[in-house]
């Protein structure tokens, strides 16, 4: 039997995934919302998923800025503190409970805040998946499927690894650490937090909807295009056929709109 280096690599990656699935601790496990699409992709002989995140909300205090020359904001960084991380939208409403005693609201603050303060950031980051493909041809196929359903920030990288990415984000400074008192000072009120929790919930939903769309497109275009066609030919009644045609038409329309919308967004990005 001839050796197949890609299959060997794939087997070892999948073995690792399986071992982390059986690890029941919250840290280190594969994010379970990703499992269906990972399983689907891994059922293809030329593809293997290498890393994933199903989407998450995180809240953290930025790290120490004293020794940094350029005052970058936006990352946790060294000395930063996680206040909250979740992939599960049902955990959103109560995220402040654990450190509520450390919070101070100051919505009418009058001082000028400099970038050297350690800000508290509230972020939504969407689904992302990396897939190693056997060759450029299979990588292209996957890339094109993703682009056709709105994963506009996807791209092929080194070693035929495709990154599937979408642009659904929030990135909001909600307060800062008062280093003298160690209090978490929020410059937004609780209703604002409720509002952005609501927006984040909307992002989670949109994100899940896009994951499902991606699943469907990968299944129909890549995993079993013949089986899909064949089975519908065999089993469907006239009405089912009409319904299928209607759905296909709607899907095409939606994809067209999505493309037009994305083109428009791109154009706006270029020449605002």
Task: Report 182-221 residues binding a copy of itself (CB under 8 A).
Answer: 187-189, 191-192, 194-196, 198-199, 201-203, 205-206, 209
Q: Minimal distance in Å, beta carbon 5 to a copy of itself?
A: 20
Dist. CA 162–CA 145, nearest whole Å:
11
Q: Minimal distance in Å, beta carbon 209 to a copy of itself?
A: 7
Q: Minimal distance in Å, beta carbon 238 to a copy of itself?
A: 29
Total site size for a copy of itself, rule CB under 8 A: 73
Q: Contact between 71 and a copy of itself (CB under 8 A)?
A: yes
Q: Which is nearer to a copy of itself, 44 or 204 (CB)?
A: 204
Task: Report 233-252 residues binding a copy of itself (CB under 8 A).
Answer: none
Task: Report 96-155 residues binding a copy of itself (CB under 8 A).
Answer: 107-115, 119, 125, 128, 136, 140, 143-144, 147, 153-155
Q: Contact between 93 and a copy of itself (CB under 8 A)?
A: no
Task: Report 20-49 residues binding a copy of itself (CB under 8 A).
Answer: 27-29, 31
Q: Contact between 72 and a copy of itself (CB under 8 A)?
A: yes
Q: Which is nearer to a copy of itself, 155 or 223 (CB)?
A: 155
Q: Minimal distance in Å, beta carbon 10 to a copy of itself?
A: 18
Q: Contact between 266 and a copy of itself (CB under 8 A)?
A: yes
């Amino acid at each position: 039997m001839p050796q197949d280096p890609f299959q060997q690599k794939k087997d070892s990656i999948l073995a690792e995934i399986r071992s982390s699935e059986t690890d029941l601790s919250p840290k280190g496990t594969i994010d379970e919302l990703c499992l269906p699409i990972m399983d689907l992709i891994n059922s293809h002989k030329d593809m293997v998923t290498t890393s994933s995140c199903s989407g998450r909300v995180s809240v953290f205090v930025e790290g120490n800025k004293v020794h940094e020359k350029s005052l970058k904001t936006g990352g946790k960084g060294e000395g930063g503190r996680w206040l909250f991380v979740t992939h599960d939208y049902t955990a959103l409403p109560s995220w402040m409970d654990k450190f509520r005693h450390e919070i101070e609201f100051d919505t009418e603050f009058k001082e000028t805040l400099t970038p050297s303060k350690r800000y508290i950031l509230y972020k939504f980051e969407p689904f992302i998946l990396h897939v190693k493909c056997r060759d450029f041809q299979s990588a292209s196929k996957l890339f094109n499927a993703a682009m056709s359903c709105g994963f506009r920030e996807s791209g092929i990288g080194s070693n035929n690894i495709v990154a599937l990415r979408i642009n659904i984000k929030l990135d909001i400074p909600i307060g800062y650490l008062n280093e003298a008192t160690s209090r978490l000072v929020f410059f937004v009120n609780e209703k604002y937090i409720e509002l952005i929790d609501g927006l984040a919930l909307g992002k989670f939903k949109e994100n899940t909807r896009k994951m499902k769309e991606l699943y469907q497109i990968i299944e129909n275009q890549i995993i079993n295009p013949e089986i899909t066609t064949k089975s519908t030919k065999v089993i469907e009644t006239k009405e089912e056929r009409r319904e299928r045609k209607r759905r296909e038409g709607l899907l095409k329309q939606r994809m067209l709109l999505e493309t037009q919308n994305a083109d428009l967004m791109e154009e706006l990005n270029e020449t605002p």
